[in-house]
């Protein structure tokens, strides 16, 4: 569904045949959604009508998704030893060659990823290990970030100034890290078990959703200008 800045629904929600796992914006008029071993490409009209334009079958099951380039996306996997992969808008799947991932296979919801384009940096969360992995895809270096504020990390996204923001589910907060994995600060959120997170393209708004059985929330926060410095 499409929501405005006041979280009011615009247009009619598009109903998928299976549960969507992640979404990324490709352009002003196109989004892509991950499903079980497939990618769904949806068009969005100027009057907020959502339509399915094409579907690509994939060899892996994808969860989170974000853009690496205008034609290539980074996706986290589940039930696959290849924790994070790349896929083009044409459906060509490739792997990161310089990166050594944790030697484990995650089930659905145990790990999410994001990619900092300007820094060639991949971020991978490990919920059960209470760890955020920061991996340089060019140099091939990696860092496992553990911190008392990082408890059951879930969704992650690129924050202002090429920083990284991660949902810390068991702390009911969002953890703010540098692109190198250094701790900056933590922000409490008014919800239990924050799950997925996104920052607007202009870096001024933060959206957070949770994953409780009841009292489910989607909240929008303003990011103060000082956060960009």
What is the per-residue pLDDT across 167-212, written as a single tens digit (0 to 9) for each?
999 999 999 999 999 999 999 999 999 999 999 988 999 999 999 9
Q: Are strands 121-126 and 72-78 parallel, antiparallel or unpaired?
A: unpaired
Residue of 32, 134, 43 whose CA lies nearest to 90: 32
Residue range 36-91, pLDDT digits in tens: 899 999 999 999 999 999 999 999 999 999 999 999 999 999 999 999 999 999 99
- pLDDT confidence of residue 18: 86
Sign (positive/negative) of CA torsion 202, 174, 194, 156?
Answer: positive
Is the model's pLDDT at 229 over the cut of 80? no
Report the CATH number at residue 156: 2.130.10.10
Q: Is a pLDDT exceeding 80 seen at residue 29? A: yes
The mean of the pLDDT values for the chain is 94
Mean pLDDT over 79-108 rounds to: 94
- Using DSSP's 3-state secondary structure scheme, residue 137 falls into coil
Q: What is the mean pLDDT of residues 11-23?
A: 93
Kindly list the distances between the CA atom of residue 218 and the CA atoms of 6, 8, 106, in Å, as whole numbers in the listed order: 11, 11, 26
Given phi > 0 = left and psi -120 to 50 = alpha, else beta, which region is 172? left
Number of domains in the chain: 1
pLDDT tier for residue 226 given thresholds of 50, 70 and 90: low
Identify the domain containing residue 94 by its residue range: 2-228
């Amino acid at each position: 569904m499409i929501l405005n800045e006041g979280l009011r629904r615009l247009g009619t929600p598009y109903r998928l045949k299976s549960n969507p796992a992640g979404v990324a914006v490709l352009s002003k008029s196109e989004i892509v959604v991950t499903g079980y071993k497939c990618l769904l490409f949806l068009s969005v009209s100027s009057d907020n009508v959502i339509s399915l334009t094409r579907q690509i079958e994939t060899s892996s099951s994808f969860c989170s998704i974000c853009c690496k380039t205008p034609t290539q996306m980074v996706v986290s996997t589940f039930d696959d030893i290849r924790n994070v992969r790349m896929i083009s808008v044409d459906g060509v799947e490739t792997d990161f060659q310089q990166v050594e991932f944790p030697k484990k296979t995650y089930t659905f919801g145990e790990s999410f990823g994001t990619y900092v384009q300007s820094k060639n940096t991949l971020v991978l969360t490990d919920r059960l290990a209470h760890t955020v992995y920061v991996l340089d895809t060019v140099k091939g270096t990696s860092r496992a970030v553990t911190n008392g504020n990082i408890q059951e990390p879930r969704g992650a996204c690129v924050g202002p100034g090429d920083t990284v923001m991660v949902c810390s589910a068991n702390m009911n907060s969002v953890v703010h890290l540098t692109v190198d994995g250094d701790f900056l600060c933590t922000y409490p959120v008014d919800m239990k078990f924050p799950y997925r997170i996104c920052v607007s393209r202009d870096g001024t708004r933060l959206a957070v959703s949770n994953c409780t059985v009841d009292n489910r929330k989607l909240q929008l926060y303003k990011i103060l200008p000082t956060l960009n410095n």
